[in-house]
């Protein structure tokens, strides 16, 4: 697909074919990406003469803005959901949705769970490792693949609502002498994982790895390695630059395997 902008900033696209599964790689600007997706859905619907097709959004735009904190703020995920609900597609696949609120906001949403990425990314090593869950909110997702690990530990975080500062108050589970894997859905700036890696080191972890479904890495990936994280596993839902210690799984392949094995 050819995606481009007019001088005034308006997005436009032109299809090369008629896609049964429409998938646009992430663009540098998430808002531009969302607009391109909406336009591409209409173009594909027209090219297919109304025949059904599916949409794949590996990273769900505005998925983290899943609740307003006051009446003066928008319910951003619901707004985006209304746009996607109007798109002429049969199903919308996404990879590791941030929260269950997405299902309330977006019709026809099919979530490819985090387990479809974590276990294949680590192959047979899971049985030797301790899974570290970074907070209580991630426990529900981790239950699907936690049995594949030798043990599980859960971090207890505290955030000061006045200042926004974050601290690790403790970890439930043994980490001393263990190979530890921290698993979560999103790494943006990475501050939480840097802090958690420091805590694990100080409490005797033998090695520390990180499995992140969506590696945004807005402050760069090097700071994570400098913090003592030895290996990072992620997907190409966001473009990644190859480097030693970084393993990137194909979001398209994860979806293909999911559809083949689990969908009727």
**Residues 65-101: pLDDT tens digits?**
999 989 999 999 999 999 999 999 999 999 999 999 9
Answer yes or no: same fold for 2-112 and 115-249.
yes
Q: Name the one residue in this structure whose structure tokens are 């992430």.
A: 26
Task: Give, in order, the Cα–Cα distances in Å from 24 to each of 32, 194, 227, 236, 252.
Answer: 12, 31, 33, 12, 10
Burial (CB < 10 A; 0-12, 13-18, 19+), residue 177, is exposed
Predicted pLDDT at 264? 58
pLDDT for residue 159 is more than 80:
no
CATH architecture of the domain 115-249 equals: 3-Layer(aba) Sandwich (3.40)
CA terminus-to-terminus distance, the chain:
28
Average pLDDT value over all residues in the chain: 92
All structural domains of the chain with their residue ranges: 2-112, 115-249
For residues 218-236, give the mean pLDDT. 96
Predicted pLDDT at 47? 94
What are the structure tokens assigned to 15, written together?
Answer: 């299809």
**Residues 162-197: pLDDT tens digits?**
656 677 888 999 999 999 999 999 999 999 999 999
Q: Which range is least confidently modeled, 87-91, 160-164, 204-208, 218-222? A: 160-164
| Count of C-beta atoms within a 10 Å radius of residue 214 | 25
CATH architecture of the domain 2-112 equals: 3-Layer(aba) Sandwich (3.40)
pLDDT for residue 113 is more than 70:
yes
């Amino acid at each position: 697909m050819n995606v481009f902008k007019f001088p005034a900033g308006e997005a436009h696209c032109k299809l090369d074919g008629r896609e049964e599964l429409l998938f646009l790689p992430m663009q540098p600007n998430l808002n531009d990406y969302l607009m391109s997706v909406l336009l591409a859905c209409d173009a594909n619907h027209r090219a297919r003469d109304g025949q059904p097709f599916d949409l794949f959004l590996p990273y769900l735009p505005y998925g983290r803005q899943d609740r307003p904190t006051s009446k003066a703020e928008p319910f951003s995920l619901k707004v985006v959901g209304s746009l996607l609900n109007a798109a002429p597609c049969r199903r919308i696949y996404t990879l590791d949705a941030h929260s269950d609120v997405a299902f309330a906001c977006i019709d026809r949403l099919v979530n490819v769970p985090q387990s479809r990425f974590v276990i294949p990314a680590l192959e047979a090593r899971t049985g030797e490792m301790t899974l570290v869950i970074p907070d209580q909110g991630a426990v529900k997702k981790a239950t699907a693949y936690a049995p594949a690990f030798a043990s599980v530990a859960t971090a207890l975080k505290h955030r000061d609502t006045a200042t926004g500062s974050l601290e690790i108050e403790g970890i439930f589970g043994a980490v001393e002498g263990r190979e530890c894997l921290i698993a979560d859905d999103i790494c943006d700036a990475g501050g939480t994982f840097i802090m958690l890696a420091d805590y694990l080191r100080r409490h005797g972890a033998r090695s520390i790895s990180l499995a992140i479904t969506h590696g945004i890495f807005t402050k760069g990936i090097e700071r994570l390695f400098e913090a003592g994280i030895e290996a990072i596993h992620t997907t190409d839902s966001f473009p990644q630059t190859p480097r030693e210690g970084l393993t990137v799984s194909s979001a398209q392949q994860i979806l293909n395997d999911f559809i083949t094995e689990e969908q009727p």
